[in-house]
Amino acid sequence: MIIDCHGHYTTAPKALEEWRNRQIAGIKDPSAMPRASELKISDDDLCETIQSNQLRLMTERGSDLTLFSPRASFMAHHIGDFNVSSTWAAICNELCFRVSQLFPDHFVPVAMLPQSPGVDPKTCIPELEKCIKEYGNVGINLNPDPSGGHWNSPPLSDRHWYSIYEKMVEYDIPAMIHVSTSCNACFHTTGAHYLNADTTAFMQCLTSDLFKDFPTLRFLIPHGGGAVPYHWGRFRGLAQELKKPLLSEHLLNNIFFDTCVYHQPGIDLLNTVIPVKNVLFASEMIGAVRGIDPETGHYYDDTKRYIEASKILSAGDRQQIYEGNARRVFPRLDARLKAKGL
pLDDT for 19-76, tens place per residue?
A: 999 999 999 999 999 999 999 999 999 999 999 999 999 999 999 999 999 999 999 9
Q: Is 325 helix (H, G, I), strand (E, B) or coil?
A: helix
User: So what's the pLDDT on residue 16?
Assistant: 98
User: So what's the pLDDT on residue 239?
Assistant: 98
User: So what's the pLDDT on residue 203?
Assistant: 98
Catalytic residue at 284? Answer: yes
User: So what's the pLDDT on residue 280?
Assistant: 98
Q: Are 136 and 193 in contact (CB under 8 A)?
A: no
pLDDT for 218-228, tens place per residue?
A: 999 999 999 99
Q: Is 92 helix (H, G, I), strand (E, B) or coil?
A: helix
User: So what's the pLDDT on residue 333?
Assistant: 98
pLDDT for 272-301, tens place per residue?
A: 999 999 999 999 999 999 999 999 999 999
User: So what's the pLDDT on residue 17?
Assistant: 97
pLDDT for 128-148, tens place per residue?
A: 999 999 999 999 999 999 999
Taking the C-alpha atoms of residue 121 and residue 128, their distance in angstroms, rounded to an integer, is 11
Q: What is the mean pLDDT of residues 265-271?
A: 98
DSSP string, 180-225: ----STTS-IIIIIHHHHHHHHHHHHHTS-HHHH-TT--EEE-GGG
CA 223 from centre of chain:
9
Catalytic choice (94, 127, 284, 323) = 284
**Among residues of the chain, what percentage have pLDDT more than 90?**
100
pLDDT for 166-189, tens place per residue?
A: 999 999 999 999 999 999 999 999
The pLDDT mean for the chain works out to: 97
Residue 142: name the closest of 117, 115, 163, 167 by CA: 115
pLDDT for 101-127, tens place per residue?
A: 999 999 999 999 999 999 999 999 999
User: So what's the pLDDT on residue 290?
Assistant: 93
User: So what's the pLDDT on residue 215?
Assistant: 98
User: So what's the pLDDT on residue 230?
Assistant: 98
Q: Is 290 helix (H, G, I), strand (E, B) or coil?
A: coil
66 has which bridge partners? 4, 107
Q: Are strands 3-9 and 65-70 parallel, antiparallel or unpaired?
A: parallel
Q: What is the mean pLDDT of residues 141-167?
A: 98
User: So what's the pLDDT on residue 54?
Assistant: 98
pLDDT for 298-315, tens place per residue?
A: 999 999 999 999 999 999
Taking the C-alpha atoms of residue 199 and residue 47, their distance in angstroms, rounded to an integer, is 36
